[in-house]
Homo-oligomer: A and B are copies of this chain.
Protein backbone atom coordinates (compact mmCIF):
# COMPACT_ATOMS: atom_id res chain seq x y z
CA UNK A 1 0.00 0.00 0.00
CA UNK A 2 1.21 3.47 -0.83
CA UNK A 3 1.51 5.51 2.31
CA UNK A 4 0.92 9.19 2.83
CA UNK A 5 3.18 11.18 5.10
CA UNK A 6 1.06 12.22 8.07
CA UNK A 7 1.03 15.95 8.73
CA UNK A 8 -0.92 18.65 10.53
CA UNK A 9 -1.55 21.95 8.74
CA UNK A 10 0.72 24.81 9.68
CA UNK A 11 -0.93 27.37 11.92
CA UNK A 12 -2.96 24.65 13.65
CA UNK A 13 -2.02 23.76 17.21
CA UNK A 14 -1.93 20.03 17.93
CA UNK A 15 -0.56 19.16 21.34
CA UNK A 16 1.02 16.06 22.80
CA UNK A 17 -0.89 14.48 25.69
CA UNK A 18 0.96 16.20 28.57
CA UNK A 19 0.60 19.79 27.26
CA UNK A 20 -2.94 18.97 26.14
CA UNK A 21 -3.73 18.11 29.74
CA UNK A 22 -2.27 21.46 30.81
CA UNK A 23 -4.41 23.18 28.20
CA UNK A 24 -7.55 21.37 29.38
CA UNK A 25 -6.79 22.47 32.92
CA UNK A 26 -6.77 26.08 31.80
CA UNK A 27 -10.08 25.61 29.98
CA UNK A 28 -11.55 24.06 33.12
CA UNK A 29 -10.34 26.92 35.28
CA UNK A 30 -11.83 29.52 32.94
CA UNK A 31 -15.14 27.65 32.75
CA UNK A 32 -15.28 27.58 36.53
CA UNK A 33 -14.50 31.29 36.90
CA UNK A 34 -17.04 32.31 34.30
CA UNK A 35 -19.69 30.11 35.89
CA UNK A 36 -19.00 31.53 39.37
CA UNK A 37 -19.85 34.98 38.02
CA UNK A 38 -23.21 33.75 36.74
CA UNK A 39 -22.48 33.31 33.04
CA UNK A 40 -24.29 30.58 31.16
CA UNK A 41 -22.32 28.36 28.74
CA UNK A 42 -23.12 28.74 25.07
CA UNK A 43 -22.20 26.82 21.97
CA UNK A 44 -22.91 27.92 18.41
CA UNK A 45 -22.05 26.29 15.08
CA UNK A 46 -18.54 26.65 13.68
CA UNK A 47 -20.10 26.99 10.23
CA UNK A 48 -22.55 29.79 9.50
CA UNK A 49 -23.99 31.26 6.36
CA UNK A 50 -21.27 33.54 4.88
CA UNK A 51 -23.84 36.26 4.42
CA UNK A 52 -24.59 36.23 8.15
CA UNK A 53 -20.96 36.25 9.26
CA UNK A 54 -20.07 39.01 6.82
CA UNK A 55 -23.14 41.16 7.42
CA UNK A 56 -20.89 43.92 8.72
CA UNK A 57 -18.61 43.31 5.78
CA UNK A 58 -15.26 44.50 4.65
CA UNK A 59 -11.74 44.75 5.86
CA UNK A 60 -9.33 42.15 7.13
CA UNK A 61 -12.14 39.82 8.07
CA UNK A 62 -13.22 39.21 4.51
CA UNK A 63 -9.68 38.40 3.43
CA UNK A 64 -8.96 36.02 6.30
CA UNK A 65 -12.25 34.18 6.48
CA UNK A 66 -12.53 30.52 5.46
CA UNK A 67 -15.39 30.66 2.98
CA UNK A 68 -16.67 27.92 0.71
CA UNK A 69 -19.74 26.51 -0.95
CA UNK A 70 -21.47 23.22 -0.28
CA UNK A 71 -24.30 22.50 -2.69
CA UNK A 72 -26.01 25.85 -3.13
CA UNK A 73 -24.92 27.22 0.22
CA UNK A 74 -22.35 29.97 0.64
CA UNK A 75 -20.76 29.05 3.96
CA UNK A 76 -17.98 30.29 6.21
CA UNK A 77 -16.21 29.36 9.42
CA UNK A 78 -16.68 31.80 12.30
CA UNK A 79 -13.72 34.15 12.78
CA UNK A 80 -14.74 35.25 16.26
CA UNK A 81 -17.45 34.49 18.83
CA UNK A 82 -18.98 37.97 18.79
CA UNK A 83 -20.73 37.83 15.44
CA UNK A 84 -22.29 34.43 16.27
CA UNK A 85 -23.40 35.91 19.61
CA UNK A 86 -25.02 38.85 17.83
CA UNK A 87 -26.86 36.45 15.54
CA UNK A 88 -27.84 34.24 18.49
CA UNK A 89 -29.24 37.07 20.57
CA UNK A 90 -31.14 38.56 17.61
CA UNK A 91 -32.50 35.13 16.64
CA UNK A 92 -33.48 33.96 20.12
CA UNK A 93 -34.33 37.38 21.56
CA UNK A 94 -37.77 36.31 22.76
CA UNK A 95 -36.41 33.31 24.66
CA UNK A 96 -33.66 35.10 26.56
CA UNK A 97 -33.71 37.02 29.83
CA UNK A 98 -31.77 40.29 29.84
CA UNK A 99 -29.15 41.12 30.93
CA UNK A 100 -28.09 37.99 29.07
CA UNK A 101 -24.77 36.78 30.45
CA UNK A 102 -23.04 34.11 28.47
CA UNK A 103 -19.61 32.61 28.18
CA UNK A 104 -18.45 30.79 25.12
CA UNK A 105 -15.23 28.86 24.71
CA UNK A 106 -14.65 27.65 21.20
CA UNK A 107 -12.43 27.53 18.18
CA UNK A 108 -12.43 30.31 15.61
CA UNK A 109 -10.71 30.48 12.23
CA UNK A 110 -8.63 33.10 10.49
CA UNK A 111 -6.53 32.36 7.45
CA UNK A 112 -3.70 34.65 8.49
CA UNK A 113 -0.23 34.30 7.08
CA UNK A 114 1.25 31.50 9.13
CA UNK A 115 4.03 32.59 11.45
CA UNK A 116 5.50 31.39 14.69
CA UNK A 117 3.03 31.85 17.53
CA UNK A 118 0.18 32.86 15.22
CA UNK A 119 -2.64 30.41 14.71
CA UNK A 120 -5.28 29.95 12.05
CA UNK A 121 -7.43 27.88 14.38
CA UNK A 122 -7.52 29.11 17.93
CA UNK A 123 -9.64 29.11 21.05
CA UNK A 124 -11.40 32.22 22.14
CA UNK A 125 -12.80 32.36 25.67
CA UNK A 126 -15.41 35.09 25.71
CA UNK A 127 -17.81 36.55 28.20
CA UNK A 128 -20.43 39.15 27.37
CA UNK A 129 -23.27 40.80 29.21
CA UNK A 130 -26.02 42.00 26.88
CA UNK A 131 -28.69 44.42 27.97
CA UNK A 132 -32.07 45.01 26.39
CA UNK A 133 -32.17 48.72 25.57
CA UNK A 134 -29.81 49.69 28.37
CA UNK A 135 -27.13 48.24 30.60
CA UNK A 136 -25.90 49.57 33.93
CA UNK A 137 -22.37 50.92 34.32
CA UNK A 138 -21.72 48.42 37.15
CA UNK A 139 -21.32 45.74 34.48
CA UNK A 140 -18.37 47.66 33.09
CA UNK A 141 -16.76 47.56 36.52
CA UNK A 142 -17.46 43.87 36.97
CA UNK A 143 -15.60 42.81 33.83
CA UNK A 144 -12.08 43.67 35.09
CA UNK A 145 -12.89 41.87 38.33
CA UNK A 146 -13.69 38.75 36.32
CA UNK A 147 -10.48 39.15 34.33
CA UNK A 148 -8.60 39.50 37.59
CA UNK A 149 -10.24 36.41 39.07
CA UNK A 150 -9.77 34.43 35.85
CA UNK A 151 -6.05 35.12 35.61
CA UNK A 152 -5.25 34.72 39.30
CA UNK A 153 -7.17 31.41 39.30
CA UNK A 154 -4.97 30.33 36.40
CA UNK A 155 -1.95 31.26 38.49
CA UNK A 156 -0.92 34.41 36.66
CA UNK A 157 0.08 37.20 39.02
CA UNK A 158 2.22 39.72 37.21
CA UNK A 159 -0.35 41.32 34.93
CA UNK A 160 -2.15 44.63 34.73
CA UNK A 161 -5.59 45.46 33.41
CA UNK A 162 -5.60 48.75 31.58
CA UNK A 163 -8.85 50.61 31.32
CA UNK A 164 -9.95 53.62 29.35
CA UNK A 165 -13.24 55.05 28.16
CA UNK A 166 -13.93 55.79 24.53
CA UNK A 167 -16.23 58.67 25.44
CA UNK A 168 -13.31 60.44 27.09
CA UNK A 169 -11.28 60.10 23.91
CA UNK A 170 -14.14 61.10 21.64
CA UNK A 171 -14.91 64.09 23.86
CA UNK A 172 -11.28 65.14 24.03
CA UNK A 173 -10.84 65.11 20.25
CA UNK A 174 -14.12 66.95 19.91
CA UNK A 175 -12.67 69.70 22.14
CA UNK A 176 -9.68 69.94 19.81
CA UNK A 177 -11.93 70.25 16.76
CA UNK A 178 -10.61 66.88 15.57
CA UNK A 179 -13.81 64.84 15.83
CA UNK A 180 -13.63 63.68 12.21
CA UNK A 181 -10.04 62.50 12.44
CA UNK A 182 -10.42 60.90 15.89
CA UNK A 183 -10.30 57.34 14.54
CA UNK A 184 -7.02 57.81 12.67
CA UNK A 185 -5.48 59.71 15.55
CA UNK A 186 -6.38 56.96 18.02
CA UNK A 187 -4.74 54.39 15.77
CA UNK A 188 -1.57 56.48 15.76
CA UNK A 189 -1.65 57.10 19.50
CA UNK A 190 -2.08 53.34 20.01
CA UNK A 191 1.52 52.95 18.75
CA UNK A 192 2.89 55.01 21.64
CA UNK A 193 4.24 51.99 23.52
CA UNK A 194 6.06 50.75 20.46
CA UNK A 195 7.47 53.91 18.86
CA UNK A 196 7.53 56.53 21.63
CA UNK A 197 6.05 60.04 21.86
CA UNK A 198 8.34 61.78 19.36
CA UNK A 199 7.45 59.47 16.51
CA UNK A 200 3.78 59.63 17.45
CA UNK A 201 3.98 63.40 17.21
CA UNK A 202 5.74 63.24 13.85
CA UNK A 203 3.05 60.90 12.52
CA UNK A 204 0.29 63.17 13.80
CA UNK A 205 1.82 66.16 12.01
CA UNK A 206 2.09 64.06 8.85
CA UNK A 207 -1.59 63.28 9.16
CA UNK A 208 -2.34 67.01 9.12
CA UNK A 209 -2.82 67.63 12.83
CA UNK A 210 -1.70 71.15 13.79
CA UNK A 211 1.38 71.70 15.96
CA UNK A 212 -0.79 73.05 18.70
CA UNK A 213 -3.27 70.17 18.63
CA UNK A 214 -0.45 67.60 18.45
CA UNK A 215 1.13 69.13 21.55
CA UNK A 216 -2.24 69.04 23.28
CA UNK A 217 -2.69 65.37 22.35
CA UNK A 218 0.74 64.44 23.66
CA UNK A 219 0.06 66.30 26.88
CA UNK A 220 -3.20 64.39 27.22
CA UNK A 221 -1.77 60.94 26.68
CA UNK A 222 1.12 61.74 28.99
CA UNK A 223 -1.32 61.89 31.91
CA UNK A 224 -0.23 59.01 34.11
CA UNK A 225 0.00 58.14 37.77
CA UNK A 226 -2.32 56.44 40.22
CA UNK A 227 -5.95 56.08 39.21
CA UNK A 228 -6.77 58.95 41.59
CA UNK A 229 -4.18 61.17 39.96
CA UNK A 230 -5.32 60.42 36.43
CA UNK A 231 -8.97 61.00 37.30
CA UNK A 232 -8.09 64.25 39.00
CA UNK A 233 -6.06 65.43 35.98
CA UNK A 234 -9.02 64.61 33.75
CA UNK A 235 -11.24 66.81 35.92
CA UNK A 236 -9.37 69.75 34.40
CA UNK A 237 -11.04 69.05 31.04
CA UNK A 238 -14.54 68.87 32.44
CA UNK A 239 -17.31 71.15 31.16
CA UNK A 240 -16.16 71.48 27.57
CA UNK A 241 -17.76 68.39 26.05
CA UNK A 242 -20.85 66.48 27.14
CA UNK A 243 -19.46 63.22 25.83
CA UNK A 244 -16.21 63.75 27.72
CA UNK A 245 -18.03 64.49 30.94
CA UNK A 246 -20.14 61.36 30.62
CA UNK A 247 -17.05 59.29 29.95
CA UNK A 248 -15.38 60.73 33.02
CA UNK A 249 -18.42 59.84 35.15
CA UNK A 250 -18.31 56.30 33.84
CA UNK A 251 -14.58 55.91 34.37
CA UNK A 252 -14.97 57.24 37.91
CA UNK A 253 -17.71 54.69 38.62
CA UNK A 254 -15.63 51.83 37.23
CA UNK A 255 -12.62 52.81 39.34
CA UNK A 256 -14.78 53.20 42.44
CA UNK A 257 -16.41 49.78 42.13
CA UNK A 258 -13.23 47.97 41.29
CA UNK A 259 -11.97 48.04 44.83
CA UNK A 260 -15.34 46.72 46.07
CA UNK A 261 -14.89 43.92 43.53
CA UNK A 262 -11.61 43.11 45.23
CA UNK A 263 -9.23 44.05 42.43
CA UNK A 264 -5.97 45.31 43.94
CA UNK A 265 -4.88 48.76 42.80
CA UNK A 266 -1.61 47.46 41.38
CA UNK A 267 -3.42 45.14 38.95
CA UNK A 268 -5.42 47.88 37.37
CA UNK A 269 -4.62 51.21 35.74
CA UNK A 270 -6.44 53.91 33.89
CA UNK A 271 -4.52 54.32 30.66
CA UNK A 272 -5.55 57.09 28.30
CA UNK A 273 -3.59 55.67 25.36
CA UNK A 274 -5.66 52.58 24.78
CA UNK A 275 -8.58 52.73 22.40
CA UNK A 276 -8.96 49.21 20.94
CA UNK A 277 -8.89 48.96 17.19
CA UNK A 278 -12.46 47.85 16.68
CA UNK A 279 -14.69 50.77 15.94
CA UNK A 280 -17.72 49.49 17.71
CA UNK A 281 -16.59 50.12 21.29
CA UNK A 282 -18.36 53.12 22.75
CA UNK A 283 -17.55 53.17 26.48
CA UNK A 284 -15.10 51.40 28.76
CA UNK A 285 -12.32 49.53 26.96
CA UNK A 286 -9.92 46.96 28.41
CA UNK A 287 -6.53 45.55 27.67
CA UNK A 288 -4.47 43.22 29.82
CA UNK A 289 -0.70 43.01 29.67
CA UNK A 290 1.80 40.66 31.26
CA UNK A 291 4.16 42.93 33.17
CA UNK A 292 7.25 40.93 32.23
CA UNK A 293 6.20 40.41 28.64
CA UNK A 294 4.76 43.59 27.18
CA UNK A 295 5.99 42.42 23.77
CA UNK A 296 3.18 39.87 23.67
CA UNK A 297 0.57 42.61 23.62
CA UNK A 298 -2.83 42.32 25.22
CA UNK A 299 -3.81 38.86 26.49
CA UNK A 300 -7.38 39.82 27.26
CA UNK A 301 -9.25 42.69 25.61
CA UNK A 302 -12.72 43.99 25.20
CA UNK A 303 -15.06 46.78 26.02
CA UNK A 304 -18.48 48.28 26.04
CA UNK A 305 -20.50 48.56 22.84
CA UNK A 306 -23.89 50.13 22.16
CA UNK A 307 -25.27 47.91 19.49
CA UNK A 308 -24.35 44.24 19.47
CA UNK A 309 -26.66 43.08 16.74
CA UNK A 310 -27.54 46.11 14.62
CA UNK A 311 -27.04 44.08 11.44
CA UNK A 312 -29.73 41.59 12.42
CA UNK A 313 -32.30 43.45 14.51
CA UNK A 314 -33.59 46.92 15.25
CA UNK A 315 -33.55 46.13 18.95
CA UNK A 316 -30.89 48.14 20.71
CA UNK A 317 -28.67 45.66 22.51
CA UNK A 318 -25.82 47.33 24.40
CA UNK A 319 -23.25 45.09 25.94
CA UNK A 320 -19.83 44.67 27.44
CA UNK A 321 -17.47 41.77 26.98
CA UNK A 322 -13.95 40.50 26.87
CA UNK A 323 -12.10 37.77 25.07
CA UNK A 324 -9.06 35.71 25.94
CA UNK A 325 -7.18 34.25 22.97
CA UNK A 326 -6.24 31.07 24.80
CA UNK A 327 -4.30 29.26 22.09
CA UNK A 328 -1.82 32.07 21.66
CA UNK A 329 -1.62 32.69 25.42
CA UNK A 330 -0.93 29.00 26.01
CA UNK A 331 1.76 29.04 23.36
CA UNK A 332 3.44 32.07 24.93
CA UNK A 333 3.23 30.59 28.44
CA UNK A 334 4.84 27.41 27.15
CA UNK A 335 7.63 29.36 25.44
CA UNK A 336 8.30 31.29 28.64
CA UNK A 337 8.34 28.12 30.75
CA UNK A 338 5.35 29.35 32.74
CA UNK A 339 3.27 26.16 32.61
CA UNK A 340 3.25 24.51 36.02
CA UNK A 341 4.85 21.13 35.45
CA UNK A 342 4.35 20.26 39.11
CA UNK A 343 0.78 19.35 38.21
CA UNK A 344 0.04 15.80 37.13
CA UNK A 345 -0.27 15.35 33.38
CA UNK A 346 -0.44 11.55 33.45
CA UNK A 347 -3.61 9.98 32.05
CA UNK A 348 -4.02 7.96 35.27
CA UNK A 349 -3.25 8.36 38.97
CA UNK A 350 -2.51 4.67 39.38
CA UNK A 351 -1.27 2.00 37.03
CA UNK A 352 -2.30 -1.43 38.25
CA UNK A 353 0.09 -4.22 37.32
CA UNK A 354 -1.56 -7.62 37.64
CA UNK A 355 1.06 -10.29 38.36
CA UNK A 356 -1.35 -13.15 37.74
CA UNK A 357 -2.85 -14.46 34.53
CA UNK A 358 -6.38 -13.84 35.73
CA UNK A 359 -7.02 -10.10 35.79
CA UNK A 360 -10.19 -10.25 37.89
CA UNK A 361 -8.64 -9.01 41.15
CA UNK A 362 -6.83 -6.21 39.36
CA UNK A 363 -10.01 -5.16 37.62
CA UNK A 364 -11.99 -5.26 40.86
CA UNK A 365 -9.36 -3.05 42.52
CA UNK A 366 -9.51 -0.62 39.60
CA UNK A 367 -13.27 -0.38 40.03
CA UNK A 368 -12.80 0.37 43.72
CA UNK A 369 -10.29 3.12 42.94
CA UNK A 370 -12.57 4.73 40.38
CA UNK A 371 -15.43 4.76 42.85
CA UNK A 372 -13.15 6.76 45.13
CA UNK A 373 -12.55 9.20 42.26
CA UNK A 374 -9.07 7.86 41.50
CA UNK A 375 -8.17 7.56 37.82
CA UNK A 376 -6.99 3.99 37.36
CA UNK A 377 -5.65 1.95 34.49
CA UNK A 378 -5.13 -1.80 34.50
CA UNK A 379 -2.07 -2.69 32.49
CA UNK A 380 -3.16 -5.85 30.72
CA UNK A 381 -0.40 -6.23 28.14
CA UNK A 382 1.91 -9.22 28.12
CA UNK A 383 5.21 -7.49 28.80
CA UNK A 384 8.24 -7.98 30.98
CA UNK A 385 8.13 -6.26 34.36
CA UNK A 386 10.66 -3.70 33.24
CA UNK A 387 8.57 -2.77 30.22
CA UNK A 388 5.54 -2.25 32.38
CA UNK A 389 7.43 -0.01 34.79
CA UNK A 390 8.90 2.04 31.99
CA UNK A 391 5.37 2.66 30.71
CA UNK A 392 4.47 4.18 34.10
CA UNK A 393 7.72 6.15 34.03
CA UNK A 394 7.24 7.51 30.55
CA UNK A 395 3.73 8.69 31.35
CA UNK A 396 4.79 9.94 34.81
CA UNK A 397 1.96 8.02 36.47
CA UNK A 398 2.21 8.88 40.20
CA UNK A 399 1.44 5.43 41.64
CA UNK A 400 1.91 1.83 40.58
CA UNK A 401 -0.04 -0.94 42.34
CA UNK A 402 1.11 -4.55 42.19
CA UNK A 403 -1.27 -7.44 42.58
CA UNK A 404 0.32 -10.88 42.69
CA UNK A 405 -0.80 -14.23 44.10
CA UNK A 406 0.58 -13.32 47.49
CA UNK A 407 -1.17 -9.96 47.70
CA UNK A 408 -4.44 -11.46 46.53
CA UNK A 409 -4.17 -14.20 49.17
CA UNK A 410 -3.47 -11.59 51.89
CA UNK A 411 -6.17 -9.23 50.67
CA UNK A 412 -3.72 -6.38 50.07
CA UNK A 413 -2.18 -4.40 47.23
CA UNK A 414 1.40 -3.26 47.09
CA UNK A 415 1.47 0.45 46.27
CA UNK A 416 4.58 2.18 45.00
CA UNK A 417 4.85 5.95 45.14
CA UNK A 418 6.75 6.68 41.95
CA UNK A 419 8.00 10.04 43.24
CA UNK A 420 9.59 8.82 46.48
CA UNK A 421 10.12 5.22 45.39
CA UNK A 422 8.52 4.05 48.63
CA UNK A 423 6.48 0.90 48.52
CA UNK A 424 3.87 -0.31 50.96
CA UNK A 425 1.36 -3.16 51.16
CA UNK A 426 -2.07 -2.07 52.28
CA UNK A 427 -5.73 -2.97 52.15
CA UNK A 428 -7.40 -1.88 48.90
CA UNK A 429 -9.72 0.58 50.71
CA UNK A 430 -6.75 2.14 52.46
CA UNK A 431 -4.90 2.39 49.16
CA UNK A 432 -7.84 4.10 47.47
CA UNK A 433 -8.15 6.58 50.32
CA UNK A 434 -4.42 7.29 50.53
CA UNK A 435 -4.07 7.88 46.82
CA UNK A 436 -7.23 9.97 46.57
CA UNK A 437 -5.95 12.25 49.34
CA UNK A 438 -2.49 12.56 47.85
CA UNK A 439 -3.91 13.37 44.42
CA UNK A 440 -6.28 16.00 45.83
CA UNK A 441 -3.26 17.65 47.42
CA UNK A 442 -1.27 17.52 44.22
CA UNK A 443 -4.17 19.02 42.26
CA UNK A 444 -4.11 22.19 44.35
CA UNK A 445 -1.50 23.95 42.27
CA UNK A 446 -2.50 26.31 39.50
CA UNK A 447 -1.95 25.78 35.77
CA UNK A 448 0.49 28.69 35.50
CA UNK A 449 3.59 29.19 37.60
CA UNK A 450 5.49 32.36 36.89
CA UNK A 451 9.22 32.35 37.31
CA UNK A 452 10.61 34.26 40.28
Enumerate chain A interface residues (CB-CB to B < 8 A).
1, 3-9, 12-17, 20-21, 23-24, 35-49, 51-52, 55, 66-71, 73, 75, 77, 86-88, 90-92, 95-97, 99, 101-102, 107, 109, 111, 120-121, 131, 134-136, 138-139, 142, 149, 257, 260-262, 309-314, 347-348, 351, 359-360, 363-364, 367, 370, 373-378, 380-382, 391, 394-395
Compute how far the CA of A55 lies from the CA of B3 in the bound complex, rounded to whole angstroms.
9
Least distance between A78 CB and chain B CB atoms (Å): 11
Copies of the protein in its oligomer = 2
Compute how far the CA of A397 lies from the CA of B119 in the bound complex, rounded to whole angstroms.
39
Asked if B15 contacts A43 (CB within 8 A), the reply is: yes
Q: A70-B111, A142-B380 are in contact. List 14 more A-B contacts (CB 8 A).
A: A1-B310, A3-B310, A6-B52, A6-B86, A16-B92, A17-B96, A23-B43, A37-B377, A38-B347, A38-B377, A136-B381, A257-B363, A260-B363, A262-B364
Least distance between A99 CB and chain B CB atoms (Å): 6
Asked if B394 contacts A101 (CB within 8 A), the reply is: no
Asked if A66 contacts B68 (CB within 8 A), the reply is: yes
Compute how far the CA of A157 lies from the CA of B13 in the bound complex, rounded to whole angstroms.
39
Contacts of A7 in B (CB 8 A): 49, 52, 87, 91
Contacts of A359 in B (CB 8 A): 138, 257, 260
Asked if A360 contacts B8 (CB within 8 A), the reply is: no
Asked if A136 contacts B380 (CB within 8 A), the reply is: yes
Asked if B45 contacts A14 (CB within 8 A), the reply is: yes
Q: Which of these, B20, B37, B311, B394, contacts A43 with CB under 8 Å? A: B20
Contacts of A39 in B (CB 8 A): 347
Compute how far the CA of A35 lies from the CA of B135 in the bound complex, rounded to whole angstroms.
42
Compute how far the CA of A135 lies from the CA of B381 in the bound complex, rounded to whole angstroms.
7
Closest chain B residue, CB of each to CB of A138: B380
Asked if A12 contacts B363 (CB within 8 A), the reply is: no
Q: Which of these, B97, B312, B395, contacts A4 with CB under 8 Å? A: B312
Closest chain B residue, CB of each to CB of A390: B97
Contact of A97 with B391 at beta-carbon distance under 8 Å, contacts A71-B111, A381-B136 already known: yes
Compute how far the CA of A382 lies from the CA of B359 in the bound complex, rounded to whole angstroms.
65
Closest chain B residue, CB of each to CB of A68: B68
Contact of A314 with B3 at beta-carbon distance under 8 Å, contacts A16-B95, A43-B20, A135-B381 already known: yes
Contacts of A66 in B (CB 8 A): 47, 68, 70, 75
What would 25 A/B residue contacts be, using CB atoms closer than 8 Å? Answer: A3-B310, A6-B87, A6-B313, A7-B49, A7-B87, A7-B91, A9-B73, A9-B75, A14-B43, A15-B43, A16-B95, A17-B42, A20-B42, A36-B373, A38-B376, A38-B377, A45-B121, A46-B46, A47-B66, A47-B109, A47-B121, A66-B70, A66-B75, A71-B111, A260-B364
Contact of A381 with B348 at beta-carbon distance under 8 Å, contacts A3-B312, A44-B14, A75-B9 already known: no
